[in-house]
Structure 1
Amino acid sequence: MSQYIVLGVLLLFLGAAIFELRRDYPHEIYGIWYIFFLFFLLFGALYFIAEKENTEVVEALGPSFVAALSAVHHMLTDLQGELLLVAAIVYVGILPQLLTYLFSGLSGSASAPIFVRQIGLIAIWSLIKFMAGLGGILLAQWVAKLYWDKPAPLTELNKAVVFVAFAFATAATQHRYFDRPLEIGLAPGLRVGLDVPLFTEVHRLFTRHRETEVVSTTYDVAKDAAILAATATAQVAVMMARDPSKDAVEIASRVVATVAAIEAATREANESAAQKKVAEREISWRFKHVTVRVRGKTLLWHLENIQKLTNPDIQPAERELLREEYRKKYLWWWRKGESANRSEGKPVDKPQESPGAPPQKTDIGSS
Structure 2
Amino acid sequence: MVGGIGYFLFFLVAFLTLTILLIWPVFPYVVLGILLTYLFYPLEKRLRKVIPSPGVRAGLLTLLATLAITFPLGYAIGRLTREIGSPTQLDRMRQLLENARIWLNNHRAQLFTSWVTELAEQGRNFFLGHIPNLFGSVFSIVLGLFVCLFVFYYFTKEGEHIWQSLMDVIPLPSRLKSDLNQEVTGVVRAIFYGQMLTAIIQGSIGGIGLVIFQVPQPFLLTALMILLAFLPFVGAPLVWVPAAVLKLMAGQTWQGVGLLIYGAVLVLNIDNVIRPRLIALHSQVHPVVILIGIIGGTQVFGFVGFLVGPVIFAIFLRLLRFFAEYRPAEMGTPVPPSGRV
- Flag whether TM exceeds 0.5 (same fold): no
Task: Between the two structures, name the one with larger relative contact order (CA 8 Å, sep ≥ 6).
Answer: 2
- Which structure: greater helix fraction? 2
With normalisation by structure 2, the TM-score equals: 0.28
State which structure, 1 or 2, has the greater radius of gyration over its C-alpha atoms: 1
With normalisation by structure 1, the TM-score equals: 0.26
